[in-house]
Structure 1
């Protein structure tokens, strides 16, 4: 169990508000956005922006209010204040970022980040969060999302497993789950590597997948997106904890609806994991409401069989 700092209150684990797990969850109630889309001075200001854009959920990152993602300077009372600020608007925080370079080539740098992440995992329930999201890391020492030729090495895989061992212990103690997202620049670069990791760690571990369809595509492969996404979904479906919504464009990624992805098909897939949050990423603040409206419309069209 992580040691909590002075001012970090004891945590009693409680389920999130809302429908029980065996009850259907309306699509609108599953729809969220990255809180750091709206960078503000306070959590209350972020919550206001999220609500005004029409979302029910927010994936939290302390960077949204100018603090570090791993929140080592934030005490437990401040975690509770964030939760309360969102609940005042009827919003929930299903997940929180604890992203750092899990295989940083410098062991001291990596271990320092692990200690901070372990503490964040322990405090995550104070936000109401049930999932803590991670970056599986890269051997690039400067950018945790940048590919490196040594990411596929045995040593990188071993370092990732060691990092996860500490975090999984903290997650078990806190009653939360860790979410790993396949990212092309990271050790877990694709769905097959994610499936390998899940198999090695075992079904009993508090580990699952953040399913981001855009990460599995590129401008060169997007023409085969139905085949690629179906294969990935079939591999990972039982382990999906959350899904991200962004789009593929020639220069990388964008908000949904301005790129090359077939969101009717994406939403058909997401419908097969009932209750899993769908979190909008890479939207500009002024475009967030439009994305919300479009996702709801596409969902209705896909349910009606209308397609694009």
Structure 2
């Protein structure tokens, strides 16, 4: 994986001001970052008044000072929340944030396609597969597309087993139903999420299929494992990162790899594992 743009979730580090956060990320050997505003002590999606008070240009300047690039910005909230009045209010705030994304220089704003689970947008719910949940997702995406077109950024969708877009089939369906607006969708391919609840014997088949069908629309690959990083570093079985590296290298265009769910204490070992230097 020589020469890969290797990034990290900003939330892997303790919340702090942008300048020291940027130094910590660069010192850990990363060239880019996926930013959640919570990593600098702010709400992930500020309301109108809070957003108006944030100098995003200064945030970018301070975070990128050591040579980093802010690849993406989190705009995650529950698009399929069972309380759709709440979801619509959050959609307004998210659209406002997306319109200001160019101030951070990001390629994409990342989304969560949501769950009918009212307490955890990442947790599966039987109603996620209903026509109503799908319709709510598409309805709430509308204002986000308007904002993304104005800001000229991608909306990054990550197939997650607990969400309405639960895997490759649902991702392809989303593209088909969006028509021309699908040009604003870019996929984050997270191998650990893509394999979901399948058994290890099926991992390669599932991953090859996902990278084959979604690879032309991939804008990022997330690096985490089906076990915790500490467990993997200690010798537990997990994903075949040789396969992940090969699939990433075969994508039709370069995309960053962004490390997730690590912490400063294990980042060096995680970085070596992801790059194949372990």
TM-score by length of 1: 0.83
**Alignment map for 1:1-308 (pairs within 5 Å):** 27-28=2-3, 30-72=5-47, 73-75=50-52, 78-202=55-179, 205-218=183-196, 220-249=198-227, 253-254=228-229, 257-258=232-233, 259-273=237-251, 274-298=253-277
Q: Secondary structure at the match of 2:266?
A: helix
Q: Secondary structure at the match of 1:285?
A: coil
Q: Secondary structure at the match of 1:286?
A: coil
Q: Secondary structure at the match of 2:100?
A: helix
Contact between 1:257 and 1:294, CA under 8 Å: does it hold in 2?
Answer: no
Contact between 2:111 and 2:157, CA under 8 Å: does it hold in 1?
Answer: yes
Q: Secondary structure at the match of 2:265?
A: helix
In 2, Cα distance between equivalents of 1:128 and 1:150: 37
Q: Deviations over 1:100-139 (max 9, x none)?
A: 0001111221011101100111111111101010000001
Unaligned segments of structure 1, at least 5 residues = 1-25, 302-308
User: How has the CA–CA distance of structure 1 residues 254 and 157 changed in structure 2, closer, same or farther, with 3 Å as cutoff?
Assistant: farther
Runs of 4+ in 1 over 3 A off after TM superposition: 26-29, 74-77, 253-259
Contact between 1:255 and 1:281, CA under 8 Å: does it hold in 2?
Answer: no
- Would you tell me which structure has more helix in proportion to its own residues? 2
Contact between 2:242 and 2:276, CA under 8 Å: does it hold in 1?
Answer: no
TM-score by length of 2: 0.92
In 2, Cα distance between equivalents of 1:209 and 1:33: 17
User: How has the CA–CA distance of structure 1 residues 219 and 167 changed in structure 2, closer, same or farther, with 3 Å as cutoff?
Assistant: closer
In 1, Cα distance between equivalents of 2:46 and 2:124: 26
Report how many aligned residue pairs link the two structures: 271
Unaligned segments of structure 2, at least 5 residues = none
Contact between 2:241 and 2:276, CA under 8 Å: does it hold in 1?
Answer: no
